[in-house]
Amino acid sequence: MRMIHEGGERVDEITLATVAKATSCLVALEPGKQIHAHVIKTGYSLDLCVISGILDMYIKCGDMGSAHTVFSDIPAPDDVAWTTLISGCLENGDEGRSVSIYRQMRQSGVQPDEYTFATLVKAASCLTALEQGKQIHADAIKLELSLDPYVATSLVDMYAKCGNIEDAYRLFRRMDVRSIVLWNAMLVGLAQHGNAEEALDLFRVMKSNNVVPDRVTFIGVISACSHFGLVSEAYEHFSSMQRDYGVEPEIEHYSCLVDALGRAGRVQEAEKLIASMPFEASASMYRALLGVCRVQGDTETGKRVAEQLLAIEPSDSSAYVLISNMNAAANQWDAVNDARQMMKRKNVKKEPGFSWIDVKNKVHLFMVDDKSHPEADLIYDKLEDLMKRIGEEGYVPDTEFVLADVEEEEKERALYYHSERLAIAYGLISTPSSAIIRVIKNLRVCGDCHNAIKYISKVYQREIVVRDANRFHRFRNGSCSCGDYW
DNA sequence: CTAGGGTTAG
């Protein structure tokens, strides 16, 4: 900065590019703007290295408005400039825009490189857009960039996150040089799918290949144990992590362990562990425990945990929702109303549940009771037919999962139109009968839908993969890969 | 001389 102001020394494009990068690392918008002004004044804004440094600076500072302006002023953006913008949209949570900017990039004739694909595949992974991800993969293969270590890791993660663990594995096996990040992506993918044994096997293979596990590896390993109910193994890995690998436990590791205890129903032990941590408790830990209390119907402990959660996050809608769910399950409708009143008073909004499905390269999103889809009539007919058929097969609606105090029959209908069922009904009518139906839901799948989907997989002989906020459920012939443990 | 953009967890 002194160089700029004093003006005596030679400030060339290399210096400016370097300074712009330094500024973007510091995430300092004001000095960044000064450098930008100086770049314009001295005419260096036509230099691609300098201007993409400036672009990155705005992105890192979260000023996407300025970033788009800077980009649109670049006369002929090269691969680096395009990739910077694509990764900027991703970093700022606008993954859809990353993909559409990629399309513009292709139209402009600039060839993407391995950096572009690593970023872009991650965007598809965040969007859980399998079809788009596959298409991007195909592009990468055409340009012979799909086996780049970063691209391949992104692809493994993308396939795993989109519920296609087989393709993730296939790609993983093809890689003859495997970085720790690649191992971790595969391991975490397996853990999220509830394939705990495979995840733990992979962990052993990894160690026998002399790959040293790191902090992320242990997050995967402990969460694999957690998903499989292996509490003592979780504890063992937790202590081995420090003892054998010098990885200090972080709040994320505690969080996995708390989760493992909770899922095993050992809520009080989990509370003790939280109290003994060298960290402040996180809201997500209490949220996990609250979910356990609800599944177990332990209203007393649930209330205590909910209070602890609200002490950290007073406007956490999930606390209120879980409290009111528990009370609804116990038929304590006064308490349900109290929780609702309190939400109103504190102006806490319930996070709306929605599910989506990727059909023919297009994402179809459904809310509860949603009739906005162009094929809504067909979908609701299918749903009607479907509910009749699974009823004949023995499905009984469990109205415990309805949040309102309404009559029984009405309660049943409220369950019919949960967003995941709409998405599955659409999947049934819009995909070939042999295709796997893959649905993603932003919240945790409800117990009744979980049960209904088991029946649907049996009656229609369809494999259905549902990714909820927590993990994957793979429904086949009437049962789920989670073993009803989630 | 050759700057500026990339992967796993939460």
Q: Encode pLDDT of A157-200 as tens digits.
A: 999 999 899 999 999 999 999 999 999 999 999 998 888 899 99
Rounded to whole angstroms, the distance from the CA of residue A220 to the C1' of nucleotide B9 is: 8
Place of tokens 């692809």: A155
Nucleotides on chain B that have an atom closer than 7 A to a protein CB are 3-10
Q: With a 7 Å cutoff on the CB, does A47 touch strand B?
A: yes
Give the model confidence (pLDDT) of A119-154 as tens digits.
999 999 999 899 999 999 999 999 999 999 999 999
Structure tokens at A328: 């609804």
CB-to-strand B under 7 Å, chain A 90-109 = 90
The pLDDT value given to residue A8: 47
Rounded to whole angstroms, the distance from the CA of residue A248 to the C1' of nucleotide B1 is: 44
pTM as predicted: 0.86
Rounded to whole angstroms, the distance from the CA of residue A26 to the C1' of nucleotide B2 is: 25
- Average pLDDT over chain A reads 90
For A84, list phi and psi in degrees, rounded to 5.
Answer: -60, -45
CB A128 within 8 A of CB A134: no
Q: With a 7 Å cutoff on the CB, does A146 touch strand B?
A: no
CB-to-strand B under 7 Å, chain A 182-201 = 182, 184-185, 188
CB-to-strand B under 7 Å, chain A 325-344 = none
The pLDDT value given to residue A406: 62
Half-sphere exposure of A357 (CA within 13 A, CB side): 26
Backbone Cα Rg of chain A: 25
The rounded distance, in Å, linking the Cα atoms of A313 and A306 is 10
**Cβ count within 10 A of residue A439:** 28
The rounded distance, in Å, linking the Cα atoms of A101 and A90 is 11
Low-confidence residues of chain A, pLDDT below 50? 8
Q: Which residue is the nearest neighbor of B1, CA to C1'?
A: A14
Q: First and final CA of chain A: distance in angstroms?
A: 55
Measure CA A361 to chain center. 20
The pLDDT value given to residue A402: 67
What pairing do the DSSP bridges indicate for beta strands A479-480 and A472-476?
antiparallel
Nucleotide with smallest C1' distance to residue A118 CA = B6
The rounded distance, in Å, linking the Cα atoms of A452 and A463 is 14
Q: With a 7 Å cutoff on the CB, does A29 touch strand B?
A: no
User: How far, CA to CA in Å, does A236 sit from each of A225, A227, A239?
Assistant: 10, 16, 5
CB A255 within 8 A of CB A284: yes
Rounded (to 5) percent helix, strand, coil in chain A: 65, 5, 30
Rounded to whole angstroms, the distance from the CA of residue A47 to the C1' of nucleotide B2 is: 13
